[in-house]
Structure 1
Amino acid sequence: MRLSELAYETIEPDPQIDGLTADSRAVSRGFLFAALPGVQADGASYIPQAEENGAAAILALPGVTSKLPVIVDAEPRRRLAQLAARFYPRQPEVVAGITGTNGKTSTARFAAQLWTLLGCEAGSIGTLGAQSRVYERALAHTTPDPVTLHETMDAMTRAGVTHLAMEVSSHGLAQHRADGVHFRVAAFTNITQDHLDYHPTFEDYFNAKGRLFTDLLASNGTAAINMDGEGAEAVVELARLRGLPTVQTGWNGRDVKLLSCEPHMSGLALELECGGYVYRADPPLIGAFQAENALLAAGIVIAAGAKGADVMMQLANIEGAPGRMEFVAEIAGGGVYVDYAHTPDAVGTALKAIRPHAPGRVIAILGAGGDRDRTKRPLMGAAAKANADIVMVTDDNPRTEDPASIRAEILKGCPDAKEIGDRGEAIAAGVAMLDEGDVLLILGKGHEAGQQVGDQVFPFDDASVARDAVADRMKELG
């Protein structure tokens, strides 16, 4: 593709463009290098390296110069997303974007499963990577950089995917990563405190998520909103101001309404109303809050054109996402679960949700990530103290921070908690505490298969470590 065709500008000289990247180290001959301004470094300073590596053109802010042809744009991040969408032009027929603090991964997975059950070739993009029956790819971020995102969407479409549920993070929205995506549906889960290490205020955090509805959702699109989530009414107003229809779900929903939710040891017994009819479903989901995610997923599929009755008939067949209230082992009439909860609200919600599944005590293990929002740490500890019978504080991904200092900040919210820094030892100790009917909930890392200490990532999987600890305990018990 010629640069002028890619940029929709008359440019001389007009080189052939064979690839796009914002990483000067990844530049090959014929690539366009996007010199993006960053928090820690300015991409313009890497233009000489990109030129040396064979770049054919540059995308940059006004005032940046190069010996190569330059596309000048005051919003180079947004322009890169637009260029990536043009360079990798294929997108699934239906793309649903899902934003919110908690529940994005489960909702995306549920929506993809429902579409698949209805006969569509569906997939999801998010924290767990790009996944479908016909295409899989590991991804580094919940919402990938625009080049990776559009390359992935193009590949999924070529593989046959027609319906895609995509997580859209506040970082991705603030950095315009998804600006080239044609969203047919935009969905909202909830908004609670998170990422205030990146967003200067909570208002800025909400406004970033709001871009999915104000800027990116197609003018003929539909908003699907979990009306039980904090911030739901504000999102309804965003849709109203654009004249967009909404599908409202949950206990307070209008279109897919939850009438009852009875947790039991193996799932949830749901009663719901849709289109004037009452339906019952018993999906194998752990935690009542998963009912909100399941109903929002149903709302997404309905917003995209499916019949409500058809969707309701498939709700019983969806399965939980890895690392999201995932049952990993049974022991002493109770069990061990792992969950990705890493915000105060998510910790409290997960522990409240597991309580009905626990005939005995609820034991919680949690930590907090280093180099992230510090203000939420004591709040996470307080949420654990308020909702668990026993709390153990351990390390999560300390990254470059002192692990003991992170634990100390969590312990401010739960001073009576037991502190065990080594995560493996903490899990073993939690399993050893389990008596008849007790439940152990290991929070924070969910599906993650590694633990980041400093600049190194060591293999560590909560579910696998817990299974080993249970096996050892069973041997001891004979």
Structure 2
Amino acid sequence: MKNRKKNAAEVISILRKNNVEDIFSDQRLCTNNSAFFAIKGNKYDGNDFIDDAINKGAKVVVTQEDICRSSTSACLCIVENIHETLEKCVHHFYPNIPENVILVTGTNGKTSVVHYIRNFLKHLGYSAASIGTLGCISDHNIKYQSNLTTPSLVDLRQTLHKLAQKNVTHVIIEASSHALQQRRLSNILAKVVVFTSFSPEHLDYHKTVDQYLKDKCIIFTNNCSNDTKIVVHEEVLPKIKDVIKGYDNVIVYGNTGKVKIAIQKSDICGQELLLQCGKTDVVYKTSIIGKHQAHNLLAATIAISQLGADISKLSFLAQQITAPPGRLERIAKNIFVDYAHNEDALKKVLQIVAEVKNMHQKIFLVFGCGGDRDKSKRAKMGVVANQLADEVIITDDNPRNEDPDFIRMAIKSSCPKGTIIPDRKAAIQYAIDTMSDCDILLVAGKGHEKYQIVKENYIPFSDKAIILECINR
């Protein structure tokens, strides 16, 4: 006889009766008095780990599968749609969110814009936190275990609830296309949404560029109200204008129009920027290099202004803010690390370096491509590297479950000037030993990451740490 499937209200009641204190969808995180939602994913099936969750202390197990467990120490709830049930349960258990939510989406630039907004708000005296690729950053020791750009629905709501309890008033969140499509950001209304850029990416997941854009635009239908301020880069606007035409508060930024930026001075040491934000002009003198980072600073400035902050105070603060970890991060005078891991990002960062170098400097590039990801970008990135770098060293990124030699050869096929050195540490050492004191080295692809993924193993590895080790020998 089949079990009657329970609705969300019934599940919430059962959780309460069993004195459940926390909800998890990862059995490894389960604790005493918790509930485990056994979700079937693309790679793993949570139903295979129900016993593990119970052994960890789960008192309630929620599943969509019609399974029969005659003897178990946990209460079993079978539901029609586990995703909708989890969504409602999570919102019931973790209802609090900081008052001001800023969502940042886009193919590139999310981490930088989030980093700049949080730093500016903090320096202006606000209690601010950020959630994204770099984890949860705040003045409080609030962490979650995830390598995702946007954490899972459970991790996100737990984190937001904890931040609100700590009286954090502003939270800035990176909104990835995966998270939007999977409704990880459901029931979160933003005061400000920033759309930084758009170019083909994650086609292994979204399949087509059109679908990728549609999934990005979910942010406007699910996370915006009529009062939400939408800040969009001028290059993105033509792609989404039909989606946002019903919104009154749209601010377009870029090189032209009322909200624009002018680079007055730029070299390898930094740049001086004039930001024209309506009637207010702000001058930034910063060690951060790159036109794209100048635009990211502009996007952050506009977002803050839409929250009522006094941006005239930011000129002095800009001098104190550095690039976010792994985003054209300066490790030594002429050595940089960047997270660029697609064609568009690599092209932009190499163009930036080319613009600030002098005629006697060469650009050395160390990079690879990740395994189990969009294979089409490998040859495209090879073309970019071959065109814009003087010396190219092709190495391993995160090969995951693919043959790393196959990945390297796919890049090499369109990058004849590339030298293949499989070991990433050896590749970095070779570049540093080969370049002159005045040359520029860019190590791209992994940025802030502190690991290298080989098959299922996360092996400790940091581009920044390796560079420092090499130059201090």
- Structure 1 length as normaliser, TM-score? 0.88
Q: Is the 1:84–1:180 Cα contact (8 Å) retained in structure 2?
A: no
Cα deviation, 1:379-438, whole Å, max 9, x if unaligned, reads: 111111121111110111111211111100111221221111111111111112222521
Asked if residue 105 in structure 1 is aligned to residue 111 in structure 2, the reply is yes
Partner of 1:151: 158
Partner of 2:43: 40
DSSP 3-state at the match of 2:96: coil
- Alpha-carbon separation, structure 2, partners of 1:260 and 1:387: 22
Worse-superposed segment, 213-222 or 203-212: 213-222
Q: Residue 294 of structure 1: which of 278, 288, 297 is its match?
A: 297
- Show the 5 A alignment for 1:64-463: 68=75, 70=77, 72-74=79-81, 76-137=82-143, 139-140=145-146, 141-228=148-235, 231-241=236-246, 243-254=247-258, 256-311=259-314, 314-330=317-333, 335-359=334-358, 360-463=361-464
- Alpha-carbon separation, structure 2, partners of 1:12 and 1:90: 22
Q: Is the 1:97–1:187 Cα contact (8 Å) retained in structure 2?
A: yes
Q: How many pairs does the alignment contain? A: 460
DSSP 3-state at the match of 1:176: coil
Worse-superposed segment, 262-271 or 76-85: 76-85
Partner of 1:19: 22
DSSP 3-state at the match of 1:425: helix
- Alpha-carbon separation, structure 2, partners of 1:289 and 1:73: 46
- Alpha-carbon separation, structure 2, partners of 1:272 and 1:399: 42
- Alpha-carbon separation, structure 2, partners of 1:138 and 1:320: 23
Distance verdict in 2 for CA 1:163–1:351, change over 3 Å: same
Amino acid at match of 1:421: P
Tell me by how many angstroms 1:365 deviates: 0.8
Tell me by how many angstroms 1:29 deviates: 5.4
Amino acid at match of 2:252: Q
Tell me by how many angstroms 1:262 deviates: 3.1
Distance verdict in 2 for CA 1:145–1:223, change over 3 Å: same
Q: Is the 2:179–2:185 Cα contact (8 Å) retained in structure 1?
A: yes
Distance verdict in 2 for CA 1:43–1:253, change over 3 Å: farther
- Alpha-carbon separation, structure 2, partners of 1:433 and 1:292: 33
Distance verdict in 2 for CA 1:82–1:263, change over 3 Å: farther
Tell me by how many angstroms 1:347 deviates: 0.5
Q: Is the 2:7–2:79 Cα contact (8 Å) retained in structure 1?
A: no
Q: Which segments of 5 or more consecutive residues in structure 2 lack a partner in the other structure?
A: 1-5
Amino acid at match of 1:377: R
Tell me by how many angstroms 1:244 deviates: 4.3
Amino acid at match of 1:93: E
Worse-superposed segment, 129-138 or 427-436: 129-138
Distance verdict in 2 for CA 1:66–1:247, change over 3 Å: farther
- Alpha-carbon separation, structure 2, partners of 1:286 and 1:121: 28
Worse-superposed segment, 257-266 or 195-204: 257-266
Worse-superposed segment, 155-164 or 286-295: 155-164
DSSP 3-state at the match of 2:286: coil
Cα deviation, 1:217-245, whole Å, max 9, x if unaligned, reads: 234212111224xx33333432223x241
- Structure 2 length as normaliser, TM-score? 0.89
Distance verdict in 2 for CA 1:447–1:47, change over 3 Å: closer
- Alpha-carbon separation, structure 2, partners of 1:91 and 1:59: 25
Distance verdict in 2 for CA 1:32–1:195, change over 3 Å: same
Amino acid at match of 1:233: P
Distance verdict in 2 for CA 1:6–1:376, change over 3 Å: same
Q: Is the 2:192–2:231 Cα contact (8 Å) retained in structure 1?
A: yes
* Sequence identity (%): 32
Partner of 2:3: none
- Alpha-carbon separation, structure 2, partners of 1:87 and 1:248: 38
- Alpha-carbon separation, structure 1, partners of 2:227 and 2:320: 30
Cα deviation, 1:185-237, whole Å, max 9, x if unaligned, reads: 21111121221111121122111211111212234212111224xx3333343
Worse-superposed segment, 351-360 or 273-282: 273-282
Partner of 1:471: 472
Cα deviation, 1:289-346, whole Å, max 9, x if unaligned, reads: 101111111122122232454456644443210111011113xxxx111101000101
Q: Is the 1:395–1:407 Cα contact (8 Å) retained in structure 2?
A: yes
- Alpha-carbon separation, structure 2, partners of 1:57 and 1:210: 36
Q: Is the 2:8–2:88 Cα contact (8 Å) retained in structure 1?
A: no
Q: Is the 2:7–2:80 Cα contact (8 Å) retained in structure 1?
A: no
Tell me by how many angstroms 1:97 deviates: 1.0
Tell me by how many angstroms 1:273 deviates: 1.1
Tell me by how many angstroms 1:275 deviates: 2.1
Q: Is the 2:263–2:271 Cα contact (8 Å) retained in structure 1?
A: no
Q: Which segments of 5 or more consecutive residues in structure 1 lack a partner in the other structure?
A: 473-478
Tell me by how many angstroms 1:352 deviates: 0.6
